[in-house]
Structure 1
C-alpha cells in the first residue's frame, strides 16, 4: 500500500488494484499514516517515493 501512495493513487484506484473495498483501503491508509508519523497522504507518498517505493 505505501507503494500505491507513492504512485499518487486514490483510495478507489488502490482498492481496484488490491481487490479490496474502499473502506478497507481508507482504514489501512489511516493506520499507515499513523505508523509513519505522516500528517497526510502527500507526505506519506513523498516518503514512499524517497524510499524507492513509488
Structure 2
C-alpha cells in the first residue's frame, strides 16, 4: 500500500526508496509486483488507481 501511495504521488523509484528507507532495487521489485497485482502495464496507471482510491497525498 505504501508503494502504491508513493506511485500515486508520482515519486520515482529513488524517491520511494528515500521515503521508505529501501534500496532502489528493492523498490523496483515492489513496483513490479504492484503493477502485476493490479494488472497495470505501467506505473502511471497504478498511480491513477492510487489517486482514485484516495491513497495519494495529492501534492498539498
Counting matched residue pairs gives: 54
Aligned to 1:32: 34
**C-alpha root-mean-square deviation of aligned residues, in Å?**
0.3
Which consecutive unaligned segments of at least 5 residues does structure 2 have?
none
Which consecutive unaligned segments of at least 5 residues does structure 1 have?
none
TM-score, normalised via structure 2 length? 0.88
Which 4+ runs in 1 deviate beyond 2 A?
A: none
TM-score, normalised via structure 1 length? 0.98
In 2, Cα distance between equivalents of 1:53 and 1:38? 17
